[in-house]
């Protein structure tokens, strides 16, 4: 049975939660391998809507074991708030596993994230202010705190003292903020220790043993390809590897064990935060997409920037991730448009460029070259087969497939759990 990677093909918010949920009943483990509580998934089950931030979407599927793997940075307070919120709504959260090697977000990470972003002024990155970047920076600087450290009081206190010895100078002397006491951080983290204990595991070993038994493991990426710290629109990116390669390093499962790479791509394009966005719309069309698609961040509530579908970005995602199948979401949002522009290439200083430019400066200056496709007016939310779609909607999907570098195997046609058209088996 397969190990499957599911990632976003644009700037996030493509509907990965819906895709994960679609596969959930056929998987045994769902693994979050990167990011923190800076990326949200919205999953609709019947008449209930669930907003997930740190937890893998698979937690909503009975019988699935959700895993927070080593590549994630964990805000323990957020973790328990989210677990309690789901538990109060009748969701079984008892199967959750958390990697002993995952890094912890502390209050000083959150503080530094917020004051640093304000300090940057016009050069702001557009972070969520939740401490994710500073926690990853500490990880790379080898001064981070891991989940396992909460079970060794001496090591935990020593690490907090070492971190605050430097960070308090920064807070007080540069940012004019109060110093943070070691005991304040220590006591806060220790208050969660016993609740955490039953969840903590060697998740790399657990996942490899599951694959050895022939079970199906789904690796769910936070954020998306264009926010990857190496392959995204740097510096306007997240602090981790959100591409398929991050699934291996972020989980401790070797690359040769992965069978399929599923990439979720929206039928148009959105992004939150700063950075280049060639197809961004500033007119009534952009407002239509934002309103019809309810494009507001699950975690932040921020209105998303909106634009037309960008085929070069989809091709880039297919290449970087080794995409075997695309899941196209929110096709229903385009219903009612007479003509639908699609970006097929860029104009960079008078030269046509068919792929995403390697130069960030060129990408900043890229202007979209559009082709228009015929729209449709019929309600497609009840479609369950490709033939149920209007002819124009079918042609739109096929045109995107031809431009995007891999087959489109599933199509989201509405917010409901069952509102999906399957063209090819995602596990086959």
Active-site residues: which are they? 13, 41
Look up residue 193 and give its two tokens. 């220790």
Contacts with 210 (C-beta within 8 Å, 6 or more apart), sequence order: 28, 29, 217
Does residue 203 contact residue 97 with C-beta atoms inside 8 Å?
A: yes
Measure the CA–CA gap between 145 and 330, rounded to whole angstroms: 39
Measure the CA–CA gap between 396 and 324, rounded to whole angstroms: 20
61: left (phi over 0), alpha (psi -120 to 50) or beta: beta
Closest residue by Cα to residue 20 from 70, 79, 85, 64: 64
Look up residue 80 and give its two tokens. 């328990």
Q: What is the DSSP code string of 101-131?
A: TPEEP-HHHHHHHHHHHHHHGGG-----SSS
Look up residue 188 and give its two tokens. 């806060």
Contacts with 44 (C-beta within 8 Å, 6 or more apart), sequence order: 18, 50, 415, 416, 417
Give, in order, the Cα–Cα distances in Å from 9 to each of 93, 265, 283, 305, 371: 29, 5, 25, 16, 21
Does residue 253 contact residue 2 with C-beta atoms inside 8 Å?
A: no
Give, in order, the Cα–Cα distances in Å from 199 to each of 60, 67, 413: 17, 9, 36
Within 10 A of 291 (CB to CB), how many other CB atoms are there?
13
What DSSP designation does 6 have? E
Measure the CA–CA gap between 427 and 93, rounded to whole angstroms: 25
């Amino acid at each position: 049975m397969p190990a499957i990677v599911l990632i976003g093909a644009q700037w996030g918010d493509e509907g990965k939660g819906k895709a994960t949920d679609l596969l959930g009943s056929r998987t045994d483990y769902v693994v979050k391998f990167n990011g923190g509580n800076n990326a949200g998934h919205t999953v609709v089950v019947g008449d209930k809507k669930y907003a997930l931030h740190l937890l893998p979407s698979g937690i909503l599927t009975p019988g699935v074991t959700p895993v927070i793997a080593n590549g994630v940075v964990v805000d323990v307070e957020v973790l328990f708030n989210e677990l309690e919120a789901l538990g109060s709504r009748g969701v079984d959260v008892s199967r959750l596993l958390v990697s002993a090697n995952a890094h912890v977000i502390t209050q000083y990470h959150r503080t530094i994230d917020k004051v640093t972003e304000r300090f940057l002024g016009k050069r702001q990155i557009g972070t969520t202010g939740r401490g994710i970047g500073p926690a990853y920076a500490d990880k790379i600087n080898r001064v981070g705190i891991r989940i396992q450290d909460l079970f060794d009081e001496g090591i935990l206190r020593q690490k907090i003292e070492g971190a605050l010895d430097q960070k308090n100078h920064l807070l007080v002397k540069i940012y004019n903020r109060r110093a943070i006491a070691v005991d304040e951080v220590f006591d806060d983290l220790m208050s969660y220790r016993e609740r955490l204990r039953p969840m903590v595991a060697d998740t790399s070993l657990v996942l490899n043993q599951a694959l050895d038994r022939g079970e199906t493991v789904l690796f769910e990426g936070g954020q998306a390809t264009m926010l990857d710290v190496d392959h995204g629109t740097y510096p306007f990116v997240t602090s981790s590897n959100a591409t398929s390669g991050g699934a291996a390093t972020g989980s401790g499962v070797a690359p040769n064990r992965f069978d399929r790479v599923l990439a979720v791509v929206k039928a148009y394009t959105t992004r939150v935060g700063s950075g280049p966005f060639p197809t961004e719309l500033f007119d009534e069309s952009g407002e239509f997409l934002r309103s019809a698609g309810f494009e507001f961040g699950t975690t932040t509530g921020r209105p998303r920037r909106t634009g037309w579908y960008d085929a070069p970005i989809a091709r880039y995602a297919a290449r970087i991730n080794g995409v075997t199948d695309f899941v196209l979401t929110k096709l229903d949002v385009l219903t009612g448009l007479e003509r639908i522009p699609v970006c097929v290439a860029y104009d960079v200083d008078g030269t046509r460029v068919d792929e995403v430019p390697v130069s960030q400066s060129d990408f900043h200056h890229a202007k979209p070259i559009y082709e228009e496709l015929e729209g449709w007016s019929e309600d497609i939310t009840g479609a369950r087969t490709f033939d149920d779609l209007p002819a124009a909607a079918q042609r739109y999907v096929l045109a995107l497939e031809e431009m995007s570098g891999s087959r489109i195997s599933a199509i989201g046609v509405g917010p409901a759990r069952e509102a999906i058209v399957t063209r090819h088996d995602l596990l086959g």
